């Protein structure tokens, strides 16, 4: 695999790790998350990094899009966070954290082992 792709996959892995660490000592509670503006912005920033890294991966190797579930949606979220920040739903971000990041983490780990 291209060493740039490896580097971008590691960037995604690191961003997921950062999000996990931000939530480590917090209750798994949407309403608490919603009140913590600093936490929300930190997580949104890491999601931007994930989306940008994935965008670079897909541009460098289009076949990678099929290896990462919802790759286009992840890239789209990055664009939304950056360009349509006023339309970001706390519920959407929370759902991504709870439901989608664990799968992305597994897929990235698998790709890094290939």
pLDDT tens digits, one per residue of 67-82 = 999 999 999 999 999 8
What pLDDT shows up at residue 86? Answer: 83
Mean pLDDT of the chain: 95
83 burial class (0-12, 13-18, 19+ CB within 10 angstroms)? exposed
The structure tokens 């590691």 sit at: 10
CA 107 to chain centre: 12
| Residue 50 φ then ψ, to 5° | -60, -50
Whole-prediction pTM: 0.93
Of the candidates 41, 57, 40, the one whose C-alpha atom is nearest the C-alpha of residue 107 is 57
The residue range of the domain holding 32 is 3-113
What pLDDT shows up at residue 84? Answer: 84
Check if the beta carbon of residue 114 is closer than 8 Å to that of residue 1.
yes
How many structural domains is the chain composed of? 1
- Band of residue 46 on the pLDDT scale cut at 50, 70, 90: very high
What pLDDT shows up at residue 1? Answer: 62
């Amino acid at each position: 695999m291209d060493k740039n792709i490896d580097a971008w996959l590691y960037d995604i892995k690191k961003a997921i790790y950062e999000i996990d660490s931000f939530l480590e000592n917090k209750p798994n509670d949407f309403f608490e998350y919603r009140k913590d503006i600093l936490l929300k912005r930190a997580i949104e920033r890491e999601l931007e990094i994930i989306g940008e890294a994935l965008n670079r991966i897909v541009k460098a190797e289009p076949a990678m899009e099929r290896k990462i579930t919802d790759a286009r949606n992840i890239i789209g979220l990055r664009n939304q966070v950056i360009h349509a920040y006023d339309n970001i739903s706390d519920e959407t971000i929370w759902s991504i954290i709870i439901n989608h990041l664990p799968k992305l983490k597994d897929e990235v780990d698998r790709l890094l082992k290939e």
